[in-house]
Amino acid sequence: MGKKSDKAEIDRRIHTVVRLLSSTKTSSYILRFCSEEWGVTSRQAQTYLQRAREIIKADYSVDRADFLGTRLALLDKIIQASIDSKQHSNAVGALKLQAQLTRLLEGG
């Protein structure tokens, strides 16, 4: 039996699994990755996967107004970057999305 990982190593592994989930890797891929990369049992890999999913859920369990505000601010940056790089169609698309999110413009 290998040596037990410390808390910092376990946290690093769980955040690696968060990144894998966020990059659309399947559960079976992640379980295999954990086994091959860290030599953990299937049960331990399942635990990492479960804890990673809990982190992702917590990241997205925000108030609707807060979520909308951060997305609108991000769209402001996209609009400015698009204008600065003379990609005006991207700026128009981001403006349209802002209008839809704020319900100034209904539909598609």
pLDDT at 27 exceeding the cut of 70? yes
pLDDT tens per residue, range 52-89: 999 999 988 888 888 899 999 999 999 999 999 999 99
Q: Which pair of tokens denotes residue 98?
A: 């802002």
Q: How far apart are the first and last CA of the chain?
A: 58
pLDDT tens per residue, range 83-93: 999 999 999 99
pLDDT at 29 exceeding the cut of 90? yes
Residue 67 confidence (pLDDT):
85
3-state secondary structure 55-69: HHHHHHCCCHHHHHH
- Average pLDDT score, the chain: 92
The predicted model scores a pTM of 0.63
